[in-house]
Amino acid sequence: MSTSSGTATGTSTGIDPAADQRHAVRARIAHIQNALERAGQRFRAPPPEPSTCCGRGCNGCVWEGYEAALAWWFEEAQALQGIVQLTSFAPTHPRTCAMKISVETTVKAPLAAVWDAYTRPEDILQWNAASDDWHTTQASVELREGGTFSSRMEAKDGSFGFDFAGTYTQIVPQERLEYAFGDRTAVVLFQPVAEGVKVHISFDAETEHPPEQQREGWQAILNRFAQHVEAKK
C-alpha cells in the first residue's frame, strides 16, 4: 500500500480531438486522489497512464485507457464512502473521436470583469440567450472543482424551455474553466490580449443538430456575453 506520488491534472495540448476530454478525466482523477490524501487514506498505486495510439490517429484507444483509469479510481474511492463526493465523478462513456466545435470573441474589458460576468448568476441571467426571444430565468453557480452549475433557459412566449447544467472539473481563476454536462465536456479559456480578453470555448458536438447550427447558437450567446460585459463599463 502506498500513497500517490504525483498529480493527474496535466495540460490539454489540443493536438488531437480527444485531448480536452482526456484532460477532464485527469482532473476528475486528481480530485479523487487529493480528497483521499487530505483524509490521510492509503491506496494502491494507480495504473500507468496510457500514452500510445493504435495508429488510426484519432487517439480513441488512448481515450478508452483514460476511461479505464478513471473507473479504477472511482472503484477505489467507493471503498471509502463519505470521503469523496462520488456522484459527479462516475466514469463517463467513451466518446471515441468526438467532434469538437469552437467559438470565440474578444471582450473589451478587464480580465477580472470578464471572469466575474461569466461566473456570477446575476450576470448569467442577463446574457445567457442566443436571441432576443429567449432568456435565462434561473441560474446557480457553485464555483469550485466538483461544484455544479445550472441555467434555466426558456422561450419568452413560454412555448419551450430546458435546463443547461453540469459539473466543473477544473477551475483556474481568470484563466480556464472546464466542465462536464451529460456525456459531453467543454473548455473555456480567458486570454488577455491587446484589445481586452479573448474568450475561447471548445465543446463536444451533439448529434441531434448540425454542427454549424450548434456553432451559431454558442457563438450568439458568446456575442451577447461580450455585449453585456462591455455595456457595464
**pTM, to two decimals:** 0.61
The pLDDT of residue 21 is 54
Question: Would the pLDDT of 91 be above 80?
Answer: no
Q: Tell me the three cell numbers of residue 169.
A: 472539473
The pLDDT of residue 54 is 45
Confidence of residue 232 (pLDDT cuts 50, 70, 90): confident
DSSP string covering 134-168 = EEEEEEEE--STT-EEEEEEEETTSS-EEEEEEEE
Q: Between these two residues, 162 and 85, which has the higher pLDDT value?
A: 162
Nearest to 29 by CA among 89, 85, 94: 89
Average pLDDT over residues 4-15: 37
The CATH number, out of the four listed (1.10.3720.10, 3.90.1170.40, 3.30.530.20, 3.10.580.20), of the domain defined by the range 100-231: 3.30.530.20
Q: Compute the distance between CA of residue 200 and CA of residue 176 in angstroms, rounded to an integer.
A: 10
Strand order, beta sheet including 176-181 = 100-107, 196-204, 184-193, 176-181, 161-172, 148-155, 134-141
29: helix, coil or strand? Answer: helix
Nearest to 222 by CA among 80, 65, 104, 87: 104
The pLDDT of residue 208 is 79
Q: Between these two residues, 214 and 37, which has the higher pLDDT value?
A: 214
Confidence of residue 35 (pLDDT cuts 50, 70, 90): low
Rounded to a whole number of angstroms, the CA Rg of the chain reads 19
Question: Would the pLDDT of 5 be above 70?
Answer: no
Q: Between these two residues, 178 and 95, which has the higher pLDDT value?
A: 178
Q: How far apart are the first and last CA of the chain?
A: 56
CA distances from 154 to 125, 128, 182 (A): 11, 10, 19
Q: Compute the distance between CA of residue 219 and CA of residue 233 in angstroms, rounded to an integer.
A: 22
- Each domain of the chain, given as residue ranges in start order, spans 19-89, 100-231
For the stretch 146-193, pLDDT in tens is 999 999 999 999 988 999 999 999 999 999 999 999 889 999 999 999
Distance of CA 40 to the CA centre of its chain: 28
Q: What angle do CA 126, 136, 205 make, to 5 degrees?
A: 105
| C-beta atoms surrounding 30 within 10 Å | 20
